[in-house]
Structure 1
Amino acid sequence: MAGPLEGIRVIEIGTLIAAPFAARLMAEFGAEVIKIEAPESGDPLRKWRKLHDGTSLWWYLQSRNKKSICVNLKSEEGIAIVRQLAGQADVLIENMRPGALERLGLGWDTLHALNPKLTMVRISGYGQTGPYRDRPGFGAIGEAMGGIRYTTGEVDGAPARVGISLGDSLASMHGVMGALMSLLRVKTGKGDGQVVDVSLVESVFNLMESLVPEYDMLGHVRERSGGALPGIAPSNTYPTRDDSYIVIAGNSDPIFRRLMEVIGRPDLRDDPALERNDGRAAQCEMLDAAIAAWTSQHDAADVLAALEQAGVPAGRIYSVADIVADPHYQARGMLLDTTLPDGARVKMPGIVPALSETPGSVNWSGPSLGEHTSSVLADLGFAADQIDALRQAGAIQ
């Protein structure tokens, strides 16, 4: 079954996380993604985190369904190949520092003149304009300056990382969203391609809820709150007898009453001062103490069973071991068995979102360096002897 992006060609000039994750999302839903890598070393992600047989397991996930070609962007012949690819592409995704592609002769003005239908997704630390545009930026800096690190961590602790490269991934998703909006405009004949300018900082900032109006109107600075949801009660993380932790969200009025019934506190259930969220938020510490007193007397499985029966949203905090063992993840196809090039089997995350008529698919894991160089160039019209000459000249690998 063809994916919804079947027939869309994407050129990826990116490394590590932000641009490659955006291109991966499009590849999983049928786009032809041609990843341009530097000769010899390729994307540094190939050596990041845990390796299998010398290659990162993250690489196999991040680059699935992509074609890898090795092009030397320091050579005129290599630049000419990229221009030719861009001339036949629908989308180009890059995460170089602003101005880098322009210095290579691959800037927006050049490529747009060559291919007016091209959409160019540009992911950088601070965006293509503004006083910080030339600063280097990684996802961690986007998280710091976008506001999420200031609000993450224990009340009396230092700002904390959320555990993953969240800033990069958020920028990737905003990049794909912008690319699809631009493609819709192009494919419906409403206009030419355009630049999708994505900042790591702004991608995080876009998720920061009512942070700005609360500060601007009320002077309120949202602070770190541990596992609690400030101003919305009760919603927190609670300990269980078997040293586990449960997140309980009892923060709608009827759910709160059901939760108080489960924990044996009809006095709180029927207290007029706790009938609405504003009253509960004013006494959130008391409510959290009452809930924790109950959860700490029971094992996690019993707590979850009682809350599920009462219709109270709750869930145990999962490690990756919990995720892999969970039957719901398995039933939803969120754990895919993948075969690596040496025949080893490994589980990979499934595809999100699930589309009913044109679902995404995984056709192969991350390719070897330059695996598709010859075939992609042949599709562009290069003869075998021309490809050999380019390789001997060091323009490709």
Structure 2
Amino acid sequence: MTASLDGMRVVEVSAFVAAPIGGMTLAQLGAEVIRIDPLGGNIDIGRWPLAPSGTSLYWTGLNKGKRSVTLALNTPEGQELAAGLIASAGILLTNLPAATGWMSFAVLSARRPDLIMMRLTGTHDGGNAIDYTVNAAVGFPTATGEDERPVNHVLPAWDVAAGLYLATGLLAAERRRARSGEGGEVTLALSDVAYATAANLGYVADVQVNGHVRPPLGNWLYGAFGRDFATRDGRRVMLAAISNRQWRGIGKATGLSDKLALVGQAMEVNLEDEGGRYAAREAIGAVLAPWFAARTLAEVRTALDAAGVLWGPYQDFGQMVREDPRCSPANPLFAEIEQPGVGRVLAAASPLQPAIPPRPAPRLGGDTDAVLTELLGLSADRIAAYREAGILARG
């Protein structure tokens, strides 16, 4: 297939999760993304998990399909080379808080008037923040778990969402430039991503309009029926009904339609309504739990799938990789690649299908000479001189 973003070139100067996801999202759609790091790599170069070789599986996972350049960014010569690459590409994606200095929009746009700079900050006023501090403040951990003690989730949800916002914002800015010829600096605050999500899901209005603060409910589904159940063979499954068809499917699959109807009558709630099922959730769960406890996961799967029930098994990462066909080459999302420093691994392409096949992450700095030649026209002698001066990595 023809890559959607073929012909777009982006320079990325970043670390950690959000900005690299933004760059990788663009690379997976066909853009040429050149990641610039300081010599030896940025602060995220060695983050866990690691391969036996010491190569970061985290770093390689978030930088698939990019090109890697390393420069002595603490020197004027290294900064000049980086600025030249940014000007040549015309688009910069970064999460570095450089409002002034060589990487400021004012300085870089003087070299390239139509420059697009997409910058991620911590807070809207330029303060520092990371996913874990933002998440603690936005309310979700206090609504997670089963008691008053806040529970952090292990998914960096705001980083992931911010990365996708970065890619979307960059594409919007590029479209504006194509129509008007104007570049510009676009900023996104990580904390704004979280607070906007809380507002969009109704939790801000719920406090203002109803004076209600969502409590921790464990694994119950808020506002409808859903919870986890244990099976006979020690597995657990999540069951949910967010439509009347799915609710009736649960009764059909379990053979408990009549008993479930009695719950509604006894509690005087309408089980054809999400709110009614939520109000009766404890009683519904008590009716269903013995059915799950008497069956293996395989038996549960057969019965629920046949009735079109909305459910899923709980799996750890190992079970997901070893047992789930969705995490295998049977899914067009995945293909095996040869990742330098790691070996042969299963890698994901863009979830947007059809997608170009996944490509390995580069070796750190492995594209430096080629990029400097292609974009800046540097000769082999000039590159060798920079290497001798310590501006480029040796060996």
TM-score normalised by length of structure 1: 0.89
Asked if 1:200 corresponds to 2:190, the answer is yes
1:59 aligns with 59
Aligned position for 1:168: 159
Shift of 1:278: 2.0
Report if aligned partners of 2:248, 2:257 keep a CA contact under 8 Å in 1: no
Query: Is residue 363 of structure 2 the alignment partner of residue 368 of structure 1?
Result: yes
Does structure 1 conserve the Cα–Cα contact (< 8 Å) formed by 2:114 and 2:177? yes
Q: C-alpha separation between the residues in 1 aligned to 2:148 and 2:229?
A: 19
Instruction: Pick the aligned partner of 2:236 from 232, 241, 245.
Output: 245
How do 1:23-172 residues align onto structure 2 when only pairs under 5 Å count? Answer: 23-39=23-39, 41-52=40-51, 53-97=53-97, 101-127=98-124, 129=125, 133-134=126-127, 136-152=128-144, 154-156=145-147, 158-172=149-163
Which of the residues 374, 388, 395 maps onto 2:391? 395
- Give me the whole-angstrom Cα distance separating, in 1, the residues matched to 2:162 and 2:337: 27
Q: 2:247 is matched with which residue?
A: 256
Q: Provide structure 2 residue ranges, at least 5 long, that are not aligned to the other structure.
A: none
The one-letter code sitting in structure 1 at the alignment partner of 2:277 is: R
Moved over 3 A (4+): 269-272
What CA deviation, in whole Å up to 9, does each residue of 1:28-80 have, x standing for no partner? 111111111111x2023331113221211222221221111111222211221
What residue number does 1:378 align with?
A: 373
Counterpart-to-counterpart distance in 2, 1:378 and 1:51? 32
Contact 2:335 2:357 in 1 (8 A): no
Q: Cα deviation per residue 1:288-327 (whole Å; 9 max; x = unaligned)?
A: 2222232122111211211111121111112222322322
**8 A Cα contact 1:92 1:120, kept in partner:** yes
Superposed, which structure 2 residues align to 1:321-340 within 5 Å?
Answer: 321-324=318-321, 325-330=323-328, 331-340=330-339
- Aligned equivalent of 1:230: 222
Identify if the C-alpha distance between structure 1 residues 342 and 13 changes in structure 2 by more than 3 Å, giving closer, same or farther: closer
Distance across 2 between alignment mates of 1:19 and 1:81: 21
Contact 1:79 1:104 in 2 (8 A): no
Question: Does residue 285 in structure 1 map to residue 275 in structure 2?
Answer: no
Q: Are 2:203 and 1:211 aligned?
A: yes
Quick one: structure 1 residues 60 and 192, their matched pair in 2 at CA, closer, same or farther if it must change by over 3 Å? same
Query: Which residue of the partner structure matches residue 10 of structure 2?
Result: 10
The aligned amino acid for 1:337 is E
- Are 2:352 and 1:353 equivalent residues in the alignment? yes
Q: Who is 1:306 aligned against?
A: 303
CA pair 362-253 structure 1, distance change in 2 beyond 3 A: closer
User: By how many angstroms is 1:23 displaced?
Assistant: 0.8
When residues 370 and 334 of structure 1 are mapped into structure 2, their CA distance, relative to the original with a 3 A threshold, is same
Query: Secondary structure of the residue that 2:89 maps to in structure 1?
Result: coil
- Is the 2:101–2:107 contact (alpha carbons within 8 Å) kept by the matching residues of 1? no
- Report how far residue 215 of structure 1 moved: 0.7
CA distance 1:289–1:196, change in 2 (3 Å) = farther
The alpha-carbon deviation at position 196 of structure 1 amounts to 2.6
Query: CA contact under 8 A between 1:142 and 1:202: conserved in structure 2?
Result: no
| Aligned counterparts of 1:150 and 1:119: Cα–Cα separation in 2 | 39
Query: Which of 235-244 and 194-203 deviates more?
Result: 194-203
SS of aligned partner of 2:381:
helix
Q: Which TM-score applies when normalising by structure 2?
A: 0.90
Deviation at residue 179 of structure 1 after TM alignment: 1.0
**SS of corresponding position for 1:228:** coil
C-alpha distance in 2 between matches for 1:184 and 1:288: 51
Following the alignment from structure 1 to structure 2, what is the Cα–Cα distance between the partners of residues 174 and 342? 31
Secondary structure of the 2:373 match is: helix
3-state SS in 2 of match to 1:315 = strand
Q: How far has the Cα of 1:157 moved from its partner?
A: 5.3
Give the direction of change, closer, same or farther, for the CA distance of 1:160–1:334 in structure 2 (3 Å limit). Answer: farther
Alpha carbons 1:257, 1:269 under 8 Å: kept: no
Amino acid of the residue matched to residue 394 of structure 1?
G
Instruction: Please report how far the alpha carbon of residue 262 of structure 1 lies from its aligned counterpart in structure 2 after TM superposition.
Output: 2.9
1:14: Cα distance to partner? 0.5
Offset of 1:163 from its aligned partner?
Answer: 1.9
Alignment of 1:184 with 2:182, yes or no, is no
Task: Give, in whole Å, the separation in 1 of the partners of 2:129 and 2:222.
Answer: 30
Deviation at 1:13, TM superposition (A): 0.7
Structure 1 distance, partners of 2:5, 2:59, is 22
